[in-house]
Amino acid sequence: MATKAKELDPNSGGGDPNPPTGKVFENTNNVNIPDAGTAVTSDVVVTGVTGNAPATLQVGVDIKHTWRGDLVVDLVAPDGSTYRMKNSSSNDSADNVITTYTVNASTEVANGTWKLKVQDVARYDTGYIDSWKLTF
Tens of pLDDT, residue by residue over 67-97, are: 999 999 999 999 999 999 999 999 999 999 9
DSSP state of 114: E
pLDDT of residue 7: 33
Average pLDDT in the 4-28 region? Answer: 56
Average pLDDT in the 3-12 region? Answer: 33
21-135 has which fold? Answer: Jelly Rolls (2.60.120)
Tens of pLDDT, residue by residue over 89-112, are: 999 999 999 999 999 999 999 999
Torsion of CA 3, 54, 74, 34, to 10 degrees: 50
pLDDT of residue 21: 65
Whether the Cβ atoms of residue 111 and residue 23 lie closer than 8 Å to each other: no
Residue 41 predicted with pLDDT over 90: yes
Whether the Cβ atoms of residue 136 and residue 22 lie closer than 8 Å to each other: yes
* pLDDT higher at 103 or 16: 103
pLDDT of residue 22: 86
Whether the Cβ atoms of residue 65 and residue 33 lie closer than 8 Å to each other: yes
> Where does the chain show beta strands of DSSP type E?
24-27, 31-33, 40-46, 57-65, 71-76, 82-86, 97-103, 112-120, 127-135
Residue 20 predicted with pLDDT over 80: no
